[in-house]
Structure 1
Amino acid sequence: MQAQNNQYNSEWMSKPQGIPGCPPGLEYLTQIDQVLIRQKKDCMEIFTGWEERNRYEIYNSLNQQFFFAQEESTCLMRQCCGPNRGFILHITDNYGQEVMRFRREFRCCVGASCCADSCNCAFEVMVETPSGEPLGKVRQGQYCCIPEYKIIDAQGNQILHVQGPLCVCDCCADFEIQTLDKSQTIGVVKKKWRGLATEMFTNANSFSINFPMDLDVKAKAVLMGAAFLIDFMFFEQQNNN
């Protein structure tokens, strides 16, 4: 099977060999310590503001694409609920094979930072295999001024902590990936500046994720889910009203 044709990219990351204990398709993540996520926008959406399904291209540090993300959501949900909508992001590799899913259920009246974790009204994204087997989840933490997220494994145990900046702005924002006790920063989820025209007239966002090469592959997958949750919560603002 040939890799999918893409007008924006001519170089693809080679598909790794299968690894025992690694979910099929996630072998790519064992070879990288950086993920680049670039959102794609159609001209119609840019000029009309009509919210379409989000699409993302996912690259390694050598600018080789290895994943593609396509949102599944209803038209009514996108236009009426904006960035608070429920969605499923289908993650496929260069050969069109689905390797995992990021799923957020729509729930009314959630996301209040001051009580999110204590009263079960936090935003969260479930990370799953295509068959629905859980790989973990990212959950919004309770905070006053500084955004926080919990990286949770498939057994429900928190394994990492993500802490945002005091001020989250469109031009740039660093969300530090920390050990469970918050004593050490081991990586970062970074919002990247895409240029004046892109930032002013579209909500096409770009993120990079840095983490240790030897981090568990499932934890890397959940950190990707954290980047998408951060995107929807802070930077998908064009149709928020």
Structure 2
Amino acid sequence: MDKLKLHSPNFIQDNIAKLAELFPNCITETLGTDGMPQKAIDFDQLRQELSDKIVEGPQERYQLNWPGKREALLTANAPIAKTLRPCREESVDFDTTQNLYIEGDNLDALKLLQETYLGKVKMIYIDPPYNTGNDFIYEDDFAEDSESYLLKSNQKDEAGNRLVANNESNGRFHSDWLSMMYPRLKLARNLLRDDGVIFISIDDNEQANLKRLCDEIFGEDSFLASIIWKKKTNGNNVWCNSPSS
């Protein structure tokens, strides 16, 4: 006869594991009663996920934080009243093709794809701004209408999307980039299948911040490898830095 277990299941850690599947960004670290580190819920962050207003939380915790992070989470969760318009005159085999090409603000596109492609995408590849100080990033400010914004900033891309220069003299140089990336990665995670994968092209300027950001959104156990390559000096020089062999 099997020996009886002398302790009951740890329902708290089981519940935390279930929440981690839905909201990996709400998982932090704490010390248990035995003095050993264990996973815990960041309740302020969880409240933010379930709120349409900014939730304040001064409690100390292990996390990646920056000015504007809560606004970025609100941006990711905020609904939009937009739709995709078919361009038959610019399409090939519109009624039978299995391909879809979308022109427009990538944040809007990611939100519009949520219902149809939720949990269905096998692979995502993105090549975001590297934040070198010379490139542009998307500005997600929904507090003013687009005409007022364009008059103020005088910046937009070829598709009419709103862009702003992110110079190193900006006091929120890294924060603005993180706030731009956060909602897009969060929405991208929703689209991936359980066995899906995302590839992100980046350079050394924001690689460390991007890794921390992805650990929070996708869960640090989901990281597979960093693929490093030399573009000019040796085109065949490719190797991986993996967390495990």
Q: TM-score range by the shorter chain?
A: under 0.3
* More RCO (CA 8 Å, sep 6+): 2
User: 1 or 2, which has the higher strand percentage?
Assistant: 1
Look at both structures and tell me which one has the larger radius of gyration over its CA atoms.
2
What TM-score, normalized by structure 2, do the two folds share?
0.25
User: 1 or 2, which has the higher helix percentage?
Assistant: 2
